[in-house]
C-alpha cells in the first residue's frame, strides 16, 4: 500500500483511517490537535480500527464486540461539567437495545504516545468493569466531526492499545440510568 499523506487533514473519513497501517495511523495521530472539552458534547458514533497485537484484538472483541454477552460497541457519549472536567460513557447494542456502560471522567491531559495534549477518557475514576483493567482512552481531532482515539488497557503492564474513530455529534448526551459512582480510593 502506498504511504498515505498524513500531513494534510483534508478528506479524511473513518473508512480512510481504518485503511491505514498502524504505523501510519500513529504518525497521523502525532500531528493531530486535541479537541476541547466543551466541543465533545453529545453522542458520537464509534468505529473500531483494531490493535497490532492479535491477542489484544481478540480480547477487545470478546468484551466490546460480543452480540451474545456484553453487546456490540456503537460509540461514546460526552457531557462537559466544567471548564476542566466532564463525564461520558460507552454505548453498546445488545439484542437490539441500547446499553450504556463503562462511565469515564473526561479531562485534558498528556498523551501516552507523544506527551502532547489529548482529551483523556479516564475510566478508573468511576466504578465499572473498565476500571479493573485501568483503561484510559485518548482522543484527538481529525476534522470538525471526526476524531481518532486510542484506548490503553493495563494491569501491572500494558495489555493493549486499541485504535478507534468517533464521528459526530450524532445525538444528545443521555445517560439513561447509568450510575456515575466515583471510586473511593482513586489515583490518577
- Assign residue 109 the CATH number of its domain: 2.40.128
Q: Looking at beta carbons, which pairs linking 171-176 to residues 24 or more positions away fall under 8 Å?
A: 171/42, 171/43, 171/77, 172/42, 172/43, 173/41, 173/42, 173/43, 173/77, 173/78, 173/79, 173/88, 174/43, 174/77, 175/77, 175/79, 175/89, 175/100, 175/103, 176/98, 176/100
* Domain-located, residue 67: yes
Task: Report the C-alpha gap between 13 and 154 in whole angstroms.
Answer: 29
* Domain-located, residue 7: no
- Taking residues 24-36, report their average pLDDT: 97
Checking if the pLDDT of 125 tops 50, the result is yes
* Domain-located, residue 183: no
Residue 123 DSSP code:
G
* Domain-located, residue 3: no
- Taking residues 65-92, report their average pLDDT: 90
pTM exceeds 0.85, yes or no:
yes
Least confident of 40-49, 61-70, 146-155: 61-70
Domain assignment of residue 55, given as a range: 42-168
Q: Tell me: the pLDDT tens digits for 1-28? A: 344 555 556 789 999 999 999 999 999 9
* Domain-located, residue 134: yes
DSSP 65-85: EETTTTEEEEEEEEEE-SSS-
Per-residue pLDDT at 3? 47
* Domain-located, residue 4: no
* Domain-located, residue 1: no
Per-residue pLDDT at 1? 39
Please give the tally of structural domains in the chain: 1
What's the mean pLDDT when you consider all of the chain? 86
Q: Rounded to a whole number, what is the distance in angstroms from the first to the last CA of the chain? A: 40
* Domain-located, residue 185: no
Q: Tell me: the pLDDT tens digits for 149-161? A: 998 877 666 666 8
Checking if the pLDDT of 182 tops 60, the result is yes
CA nearest neighbour of 59 among 9, 133, 121, 116: 133
Amino acid at each position: 500500500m502506498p504511504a498515505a499523506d498524513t500531513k494534510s487533514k483534508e478528506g479524511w473519513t473513518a473508512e480512510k483511517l481504518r485503511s491505514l497501517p498502524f504505523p501510519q495511523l500513529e504518525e497521523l495521530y502525532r500531528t493531530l490537535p486535541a479537541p476541547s472539552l466543551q466541543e465533545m458534547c453529545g453522542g458520537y458514533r464509534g468505529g473500531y480500527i483494531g490493535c497490532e497485537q492479535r491477542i489484544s484484538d481478540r480480547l477487545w472483541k470478546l468484551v466490546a464486540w460480543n452480540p451474545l454477552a456484553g453487546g456490540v460497541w456503537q460509540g461514546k457519549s460526552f457531557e462537559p461539567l466544567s471548564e476542566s472536567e466532564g463525564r461520558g460513557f460507552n454505548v453498546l447494542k445488545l439484542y437490539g437495545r441500547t446499553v450504556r456502560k463503562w462511565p469515564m471522567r473526561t479531562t485534558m491531559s498528556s498523551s501516552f504516545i507523544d506527551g502532547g495534549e489529548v482529551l483523556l477518557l479516564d475510566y478508573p475514576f468511576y466504578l465499572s468493569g473498565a476500571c479493573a483493567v485501568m483503561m484510559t482512552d485518548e482522543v484527538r481531532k481529525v476534522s470538525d466531526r471526526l476524531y481518532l482515539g486510542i484506548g490503553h488497557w493495563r494491569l501491572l503492564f500494558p495489555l493493549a492499545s486499541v485504535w478507534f474513530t468517533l464521528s459526530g455529534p450524532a445525538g444528545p448526551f443521555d445517560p439513561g440510568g447509568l450510575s456515575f459512582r466515583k471510586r473511593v480510593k482513586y489515583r490518577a
